[in-house]
Amino acid sequence: MTTVTRAAPTLLTSPGARLVGKRLLMAVPIVIGVSIVTFWVLNLIPGSAAQQLLGPEATPAQIQALEARLGLDRPAPVRYLAWLGGAVTGDLGTSLVSGQPVAGLLGERLAVSGELVMLAFVISLGLALPVALLAAHRPGRLFDRVSMLVSITGLSVANYVLALLLVLVFAVELALFPAIGFVPLTESVGGNLQGMALPAAAIAFPLFCFYTRFLRGDLVDQLQGEDYIVTARAKGIGPWQVLLRHAFRNSAFGLITVVGLNLGTLIGATVIIEQIFALPGIGQLMLQAINTRDFVVVQACVVLFAVVAVVANLLADLLYAVLDPRIRYGSR
């Protein structure tokens, strides 16, 4: 009798690795498409980078000479293909204004924007999860009503308006936090957190309100209308166990989806908030580049935002697979 042994799956042939590979292959045309659309839109914007650099007194001959030196006189498809060829190797071009490599400029500012986004996520999710669970545990009670009132109020206020209110109250009136400025973590942890507190709160509060309202509503729907909840209660499982082990596990799928889709809104918020609080992040770099017609920097910033969005959705897919292995093994 012959025994057939099946080889253990290696890392490259595992369902999880195949899922990651498939999503990465799908991401490539998305990022290229974003870069093409961005390049096309930037070329439609009136104004010349050479004119912006030389000033209003520049002669047409001077502008033409500078455009030739910067390569702006070449056809748009040629310039895009040259940029794409460099981007594949990690060369995102050279800033038209400062003459510095764009990759270096992004690297210097990525830590600031990354910290701001992470703090906003930690604050918003760290508050939304317990508040939504407590509200869903006893729907219609005082805590639930107050949390929903706060959520609706927070969703009605724009990020930049909230940022100005926070500065007025906590920086001007109470003098608890600085209004503008950034202190690197390497210089002072306390100073860094103080400087990032208000901008992170301005981004996190609307997210907290949205996540709380969404998760609370989904949990209440699960608790009131699902058969598996009725079965769990019939088995004598306590209300908190039903909420945490059963309802929340299923509601987590929807929350992960919402968090992934909200990343675009979060990136847009950082562009405005960094400008208000004078944070040297990628959002501020992008606005400065738009004002100076430094389209090489703008192109790189937009593509970076697209890559971050793609990675966030990839992480969401992986979290789906962690919560439900059937998704991972069904992706063959």
pLDDT computed for residue 168 by the predictor: 92
Give a yes or no: residue 150 inside a domain: yes
What is the tens place of the pLDDT at every residue in 143-166? 989 999 999 988 888 888 999 999
User: Do 257 and 186 fall within a single domain?
Assistant: yes
* Structure confidence at residue 15 as a pLDDT band (50, 70, 90): low
pLDDT computed for residue 329 by the predictor: 47
User: Do 24 and 154 fall within a single domain?
Assistant: no
User: Do 26 and 120 fall within a single domain?
Assistant: no
Neighbours of 194 (CB within 10 A): 15
User: Do 277 and 134 fall within a single domain?
Assistant: yes
User: Do 262 and 145 fall within a single domain?
Assistant: yes
Among the listed residues 176, 223, 218, 229, the one whose alpha carbon sits nearest the alpha carbon of residue 198: 176
DSSP element (H, E) containing 84: helix 76-88
Give a yes or no: residue 94 inside a domain: no
Give a yes or no: residue 331 inside a domain: no
- The parent domain of residue 264 ranges over 108-291
Among the listed residues 89, 30, 93, the one whose alpha carbon sits nearest the alpha carbon of residue 301: 93
Angle at 95 between CA 92 and CA 101, to 5 degrees: 50
Domain total in the chain: 2
Q: What is the mean pLDDT of the chain?
A: 82
234 Cβ contact partners less than 8 Å away, ≥ 6 residues apart: none
Q: Cα separation of 196 and 122, whole Å?
A: 13
DSSP codes joined into one string, 41-74: HHHHSSS-HHHHHH-TT--HHHHHHHHHHHTTTS
Which of 88, 119, 143 delimits the end of a domain? 88
Reduced to 3 states (helix: H, G, I; strand: E, B; else coil), residue 101 is strand
pLDDT computed for residue 99 by the predictor: 83
**End-to-end CA distance of the chain, in Å?**
32
Give a yes or no: residue 153 inside a domain: yes
User: Do 81 and 117 fall within a single domain?
Assistant: no
User: Do 28 and 138 fall within a single domain?
Assistant: no
Confirm if 302 and 102 have CB atoms less than 8 A apart.
Answer: no
Give a yes or no: residue 265 inside a domain: yes
pLDDT of 5 higher than 70: no
Query: Tokens standing for 248?
Result: 């929340």
* Structure confidence at residue 203 as a pLDDT band (50, 70, 90): very high
What is the tens place of the pLDDT at every residue in 48-101? 777 777 777 777 888 788 878 877 788 888 888 888 888 888 888 888 888 889
User: Do 135 and 236 fall within a single domain?
Assistant: yes
- Out of 61-75, 130-144, 202-216, pick the least confident: 61-75
User: Do 65 and 177 fall within a single domain?
Assistant: no
How would you classify residue 47: left for phi > 0, otherwise alpha for psi between -120 and 50, otherwise beta? left
Which of 26, 53, 88 delimits the end of a domain? 88
- Regarding predicted confidence, which is higher, 70 or 125? 125
What is the tens place of the pLDDT at every residue in 22-56? 777 877 888 888 889 888 888 877 767 777 777 77
Among the listed residues 79, 81, 55, the one whose alpha carbon sits nearest the alpha carbon of residue 66: 55
- Out of 130-139, 231-240, 247-256, pick the least confident: 231-240
Give a yes or no: residue 82 inside a domain: yes
Instruction: Say which CATH number the domain at 213 has.
Output: 1.10.3720.10
- Regarding predicted confidence, which is higher, 4 or 125? 125
User: Do 130 and 260 fall within a single domain?
Assistant: yes
Give a yes or no: residue 275 inside a domain: yes
Which of 28, 58, 88 delimits the end of a domain? 88
Arithmetic mean of pLDDT, 168-193:
88
Query: Tokens standing for 211?
Result: 């996540």
Q: Cα separation of 228 and 21, whole Å?
A: 35
Q: How far is CA 317 from the centre of its chain?
A: 16
Radius of gyration of the chain (CA): 25
User: Do 168 and 287 fall within a single domain?
Assistant: yes
User: Do 153 and 24 fall within a single domain?
Assistant: no
Give a yes or no: residue 192 inside a domain: yes
Query: Tokens standing for 210?
Result: 């949205």
Q: Cα separation of 214 and 139, whole Å?
A: 14
The DSSP letter of residue 157 is S
**Which residues pair with residue 101 across a beta bridge?**
94
pLDDT of 130 higher than 60: yes
Angle at 136 between CA 130 and CA 137, to 5 degrees: 90
DSSP codes joined into one string, 235-256: TT--HHHIIIIIIHHHHHHHHH
